[in-house]
Amino acid sequence: MKRFALLSFVVFFAFATGALAEKPFPNRNITDVVVWSAGGGTDVCNRIVTAEMATILGTNINVINKTGGVAGSVGMSHAFGMPHDGYTLCGLSESNVTAGVQGGWDKKFDVWDAFIVGGSPDVISVTPDTPYKTLKDLIEAAKANPKSIKASASGAGSIHHLNLLAVENGSGAKFNFIPYKGSNDAQNAAMTGEVSVVVTSLAEQQQLLRGGKLRALGMLIPESFDVQDLGSIPSAFTAYPGLSKYLPISQAIGFAVPADTPADAKKVLVDAFNKAMATDKVKTWAKENYYLLSGKTGAESKKVFDALESNFAWTLWELGAATVNPETLKIAKP
């Protein structure tokens, strides 16, 4: 009896495993492997957009977080190691392009085909009790006493650090850079008065700016930006046109599939992505959270990521914080 049961069990799943009918993509659940932790910007972005895509595709999209490694390399390797069939997405952001030069990932970033949801522009702010009312005040003060003004941003080599560096390069000022673990910590340090200048994204800062805990001096994008209760934050480029040589370095949050994913699966995904980006839900969410939507896919997104990769890789290499020479990965100089 028992042996019979066992035998029938074995036969049953031998059949069942082989019998998955071939239906057009997608015929089962899609997994979105987010390489940053739950609750972060990349995670939230992915969950919002994939939820919309799921209804369009008529299938589930499970968002999971697989963190760790060098610049998210554990999650990226995992997603890349799964079959390249479009059923595994990799939720990532611009910071992942540094995995290569930091020795966690032995490929150039163009093995991915990215879908860029967008990002929030960076803003440079000071604590309200400092005397700097405009960006000019701040830069002049920094120039007068180089390295005397403390500026915070998340860790060395992060996007906000790169923005801060670009401000230094474009304006000739020198700050005393104090790194923090993340944007939250960096902003917290500004509120406690440990540092006077902070560079993070508008999405992360908006509540503090509007609540009067921080004072925005300039957007690090070519356009000014309207924020509720505050009016328009001027672009830093107006006061220092030289910045346009180094900026903008914008966030590019979204997800990616391996570039050699079958074209038909990719096409279905791109369609669903475009439709999802056009939904009111995504648009309202972006507006309320001060995100700029991008919606770039294919060749367009490749261009964005190529630029980011070369910028990040070479900046890190020059700072001495990269372990792998970008040349060995054939990353072009910016």
Partner 1 sequence: MMDKDKLRKADLFSGVLIVLLGLFIISQAVKMPMKDSWGGVMNVWYVSPALFPLFVGAMLAFLGGSLVLIAFGNVGKQGFREVIGFLTGEKCISFLRQPESLRFYAIVFNLLVFVFVMIPHIDFFLAAILFLLVLFCMFYFGDHAHMKRVFRFSVFTGLLLSLFQFSPLGSTISKFSNSAGDWLVVVIICIFVLFIRKEGMAQPEQKKKFHLCIIIAVVAPLLIGIIFKYFLLVPLPHEGLIIRLLDSIFYSDLWS
Partner 2 sequence: MQLFERMGSFFEIVGSMVIDPMSLAVLFGSVLLGILFGAMPGLTSTLGVALLTALTYSMNTEMAMICLMSIYVGGTYGGSYASILINIPGTAASAATALDGYPLACKGEGGRAIGLTTTASTIGTIISMLFVVCISPIISKFALQFTSFEFFLLAFFGIIISGTLTAPDLVIKGWIAGFLGLFLACIGRDQLQFFPRFTFGIPELDSGIEVVPVLIGAFGIPQIIEVLRSKTAMAKAKELQKILPEIGTVLRNLPAIIRSSLIGVGIGAVPGIGEDIAGWVSYGTAKNTSKHPETFGKGEVQGVIASETANNACVGGAMIPLLNLGIPGSPPAAMLLGALMLHGVTPGPMITFEHPTFIMEIAAILLLASIAMWITGMMLAKQVVKVLRIPTELFMPIIGVLCIIGSYSLGLNIFNLYLMLPVGIICYFLTNMGYPIAPLVIGVILGPMADENLRRALMVSQGSFLPVFQRPVSLILFIIIVWTICSQFGWYKRGIGKLKDILGFKRANS
6: Cβ–Cβ under 8 A, 6 or more apart, which residues?
A: none
Which of 249, 75, 113, 227 shows the shortest CA–CA distance to 169?
Answer: 249
Contact stretch for partner 2 (CB under 8 A) within 111-119, 130-138, 174-182, 250-258 = 174-182
CA 199 to chain centre: 15
- Dist CA 155 CA 14 (whole Å): 51
Q: What are phi and psi of 182, to 5 degrees?
A: -155, 175
| Contact of residue 10 among partner 1, partner 2, none (CB under 5-8 Å per partner type) | partner 1
CA 112 to chain centre: 15
User: Which position among 25, 30, 66, 243 is part of the footprint of partner 2 (CB under 8 A)?
Assistant: 66
- Write out the binding residues for partner 1, residues 21-60 only, by CB under 8 A: 28-29, 31
Which of 211, 140, 201 shows the shortest CA–CA distance to 174?
Answer: 140
DSSP 235: B
What are the structure tokens assigned to 211, written together? 């609540």
Per CB under 8 A, 5 contacts partner 1: no
What are the structure tokens assigned to 223, written together? 């356009």
What are the structure tokens assigned to 32, written together? 């979105």
User: How crowded is residue 17: how many other Cβ atoms within 10 Å of its Cβ?
Assistant: 8
Per CB under 8 A, 4 contacts partner 1: no
Contact stretch for partner 2 (CB under 8 A) within 20-28, 79-87, 153-161, 301-309 = 153-161
Per CB under 8 A, 320 contacts partner 1: yes
| HEC secondary structure over 272-325 | HHHHHHCCHHHHHHHHHCCCEECCCCHHHHHHHHHHHHHHHHHHHHHHCCCCCC
User: Which position among 10, 11, 278, 332 is part of the footprint of partner 1 (CB under 8 A)?
Assistant: 10
Per CB under 8 A, 161 contacts partner 1: yes
The site map against partner 1 for 120-159 (x = CB under 8 A) is: ---------------------------x--------xx--
| Contact of residue 16 among partner 2, partner 1, none (CB under 5-8 Å per partner type) | partner 1
Q: What are phi and psi of 58, to 5 degrees?
A: 70, 30
Smallest distance, partner 2 to C-beta of residue 156, A? 5
User: Which position among 1, 16, 263, 299 is part of the footprint of partner 1 (CB under 8 A)?
Assistant: 16
Per CB under 8 A, 186 contacts partner 2: no
Contact stretch for partner 2 (CB under 8 A) within 10-18, 256-264, 272-280, 282-290 = 282-290
Per CB under 8 A, 234 contacts partner 2: no
Per CB under 8 A, 321 contacts partner 1: yes
> Nearer Cβ to partner 2, position 304 or 321?
321
Which of 21, 24, 240 shows the shortest CA–CA distance to 137?
Answer: 240
What are the structure tokens assigned to 175, written together? 């700050």
Per CB under 8 A, 110 contacts partner 2: no
Q: Residues interacting with partner 1, by CB under 8 A?
A: 6, 10, 13, 16-17, 19-20, 28-29, 31, 62, 64, 147, 156-157, 161, 165, 176-177, 179, 316, 319-321
